[in-house]
Amino acid sequence: MATEHNIQATSRNVEGKGASRRLRHAASIPAIVYGGKSAPQPIQLDHEKIWLAQQNEWFYSSILNLDIDGKVEQVLLRDMQRHPFKQIIMHLDFLRVDASQALRTKVQLHFMNQETSPAGKTGGVVVMHELTEVEISCLPKDLPEAIEVDLAKLTVGAVVHLSDLKLPAGVEIPALKLGKEHDVAVVVAKHGREDAVEEAAPEAAEVPATKAAKKDEK
């Protein structure tokens, strides 16, 4: 059973830049809840509590129980605006979710057993994570906090594609329905020297052309 995550909020009636600025000075975060059949609702949240919550992965990829003045709505975080250099959250956007409607969102990939895999134990091999998150589609009840990628059998030269991921029941990757060209690499394991050879090859090819140019000048 998925863990429930509860967030406390209060409604706000005053909007605008000035009102939002005053909220931030009072250690609160202005936010908006939208979507579904209800009208968008401005709310405010306690900055300290949200600052602690947003340090967890679940805050970005889980269904949140948003308690607004005692009324609970299920929402998903859609946007977070941060201050350019201060540890301040400027604004949050929450999307209402319908239990009967599939949603699309991105979740993190957790790479497991990489160091103990054949590729991980081979010297000079670089295991590259081409993706660290993936967009999925599912009903709210099936939304995972993350997707595990088991690399226990990863060998040198192997490539793990989107289609190789083991998805939880009820979860799909929309990109895979668009054609084989969208089945991109998630993990690649290859010798580090391969990159060095590929980078050096173009330079080597330019040497004869340079010499030829000098002969023409003579």
* CATH code (residue 64): 2.40.240.10
Give the DSSP letter string of 107-121: EEEEEES-TTSTTTT
Q: Whole-model pTM?
A: 0.76
| pLDDT number for residue 24 | 78
- Is position 164 within any domain? yes
- Is position 65 within any domain? yes
- Is position 13 within any domain? yes
Q: How far apart are CA 46 and CA 9, in angstroms?
A: 7
Tally of domains within the chain: 2
Q: What is the pLDDT of residues 108-158, one digit of tens each?
A: 999 999 999 999 999 899 999 999 999 999 999 999 999 999 999 999 999
Q: How far apart are CA 46 and CA 27, in angstroms?
A: 7
- Is position 39 within any domain? yes
- Is position 218 within any domain? no
| pLDDT number for residue 213 | 46
Question: Average pLDDT over the chain, rounded to whole?
Answer: 87
Q: What is the pLDDT of residues 161-206, one digit of tens each?
A: 999 999 999 999 999 999 999 999 999 999 876 554 455 455 544 5
pLDDT above 90 as % of the chain: 72
Rounded to a whole number of angstroms, the distance between the first and last alpha carbons of the chain is 80
- Is position 181 within any domain? yes
Q: Are residues 92 and 108 in the same domain?
A: no
Q: Are residues 107 and 186 in the same domain?
A: yes
* CATH code for the domain in which residue 123 is found: 2.170.120.20
C-alpha dist (Å) from residue 1 to 4, 64, 95, 142, 211: 9, 15, 23, 10, 70
Of the residues 78, 96, 114, the one at which a domain ends: 96
